[in-house]
Amino acid sequence: MVPKHFLQFSDFSRDELDYLFDRTRWIKERFKRYEIYQPLRDRTLAMVFEKASTRTRVSFEAGMNQLGGIAINLNRGDTQLSRGEPIEDLARVISRMVDVVMIRTFEQAIIERFAAHSRVPVINGLTNEYHPCQILADVYTYVEHRGSIVGKTVAWIGDSNNMCRTWLQAATIFDFKVHVSAPPGYDVDPAFAAGYDARHLESFADPVTACRGADLVTTDVWTSMGFEAENEKRARAFAGWMVDARMMHGAKPDALFMHCLPAHRGEEVAADVIDGPQSVVWDEAENRLHAQKALLEYLVCGRIKS
Ligand code: CP
Ligand code: NVA
């Protein structure tokens, strides 16, 4: 049987995502009451990291432990990947030993090759192209604070990176709109943008205009992992794209601010925005834990009848 994977946000239907949000809420409420819930006893998660991580590592490992299972952390340098073992062989081997795998890597093609040779579900913990676990937590966080995201406007300011592309996938599924403002040369890749119509994507040259009327303003680092050689060039190109009070003032009065973190105050976001009253970045980070516990439960156990 082919296992169910979560390699990109669009791998899940609206119905599956709504189910996951219901489970996230249920799991979070029990966790807050210190109630033990261990559907994954004797189950094992393997985590493969080819890039650095704080939140993804801690939320998956803590989440797996809280669900009664264990997590094994594999950093690339400590594995035989670093000595040339093919990713397909790694998939064949570890998927005979564990129940679910999370991978953070470079090109999406790498995780797809892994998944094609895995006997167990594979979760994308970030690739160059997508960050679906983060958007799971972000949409959940929006709904938790403001109710349904259907018909809302999300302003994406900065690099059209893995986070931006995953927001766009979510926009199609939940039917909201993303205003993207990126410096020249950093806009959404035309081949990717071609898959989105004006109901879900609108590009703006000016970031202040992109924020006008937005329900949520969000951004990310100017240089994603793997692109460090472009650091200086990007710092120059993105200079006018720091989310600041002027941009937030143009958004709706009750607009939220999100950032997947780690953040650089004074670069992509002003300190008074990320540390200000509209920011929900700490809830957003915490919800990685709860949303991924729901995801692990779903991928390993299937739907739980309530
Ligand atoms: N947001 C996020 O994925 O954080 P880490 O890189 O720390 O895992
Ligand atoms: N876009 C960033 C997100 C980090 C969580 C990166 O890929 O480095």
Measured from the CB, is residue 128 less than 6 Å from ligand 2? no
Q: Same domain for 147 and 275?
A: yes
Helix and strand totals (H; E) in the chain = 12, 9
248: CATH: 3.40.50.1370
Residue 1 confidence class, pLDDT cut points 50, 70, 90: confident
* Mean pLDDT over each residue of the chain, to the nearest integer: 98
Q: How many domains, in total, are found in the chain?
A: 2
Confidence tier at 305 by pLDDT (50, 70, 90):
confident
- Which residue of 47, 50, 51, 55 sits with most ligand 1 atoms within 8 Å of its CB, as the best mutation to test the pocket? 55
pLDDT at position 48 is 98
Please tell me whether residues 152 and 268 are part of one structural domain: yes
The structure's pTM equals 0.98
Q: Is residue 156 part of a domain?
A: yes
Whether residue 152 sits in one domain with residue 253: yes
SS3 136: helix
Contact 29, 293 (CB under 8 A): no
Pocket test for ligand 1, best of 61, 123, 126 (most atoms within 8 A of CB): 126
Considering the domain architecture, whether residues 178 and 210 belong to the same structural domain is answered as yes
Is residue 188 in some structural domain? yes
Q: Give me the residues paired with residue 100 across strands.
A: 45
Same domain for 277 and 263, yes or no, is yes
Task: Give the 3-state secondary structure of residue 189.
Answer: coil
User: Are 277 and 163 members of one domain?
Assistant: yes
Q: Are 145 and 67 part of one and the same domain?
A: no
The secondary element (H helix, E strand) that includes residue 135 is helix 132-146
Residue 117 lies in a domain: yes
Contact residues for 121 (Cβ-Cβ < 8 A; gap 6+): 3, 4, 5, 6, 100, 101, 299, 300
Residue 165, domain extent? 134-282
The answer as to whether 197 is a domain residue is yes
Measure Cα distances from 18 to 12, 42, 278 in Å.
10, 28, 25
**Burial zone of 173 (CB within 10 Å; 0-12 exposed, 13-18 middle, 19+ buried):** middle
Residue 229 belongs to a domain: yes
Q: What is the pLDDT of residues 202-261, one digit of tens each?
A: 999 999 999 999 999 999 999 999 999 999 999 999 999 999 999 999 999 999 999 999
CB 91 within 8 A of CB 67: no
60 falls in which pLDDT band (50, 70, 90)? very high
pLDDT the model gives residue 137: 99
Please report whether residue 1 resides in a domain: no
Whether the per-residue pLDDT at 306 is higher than 80: the answer is no
81 and 169 together in one domain: no
> Can you tell me which atom of ligand 2 is nearest the CA of 163?
1
Same domain (yes/no): 190, 110: no
Instruction: Tell me, yes or no, whether 118 and 179 share the same domain.
Output: no
Q: Whose CA is nearest to atom 2 of ligand 2?
A: 224
Length of the chain: 306
154, 261: one domain: yes
- Alpha-carbon dihedral angle through residues 129, 158, 239, 213, given to the nearest 10 degrees: 180
35 occurs within a structural domain = yes
Does residue 87 belong to any structural domain of this protein? yes
- Of the listed ligands, the closest to the CA of 133 is 1
Give the separation between CA 115 and CA 88, rounded to whole angstroms: 8
If asked whether residues 30 and 85 sit together in one domain, one would say yes
Q: What is the pLDDT of residues 92-137, one digit of tens each?
A: 999 999 999 999 999 999 999 999 999 999 999 999 999 999 999 9
* pLDDT greater than 90 at residue 24: yes
Q: Give which of 220, 67, 32 is closest to 134, Cα–Cα.
A: 220
Residues forming a β-bridge with 249: none
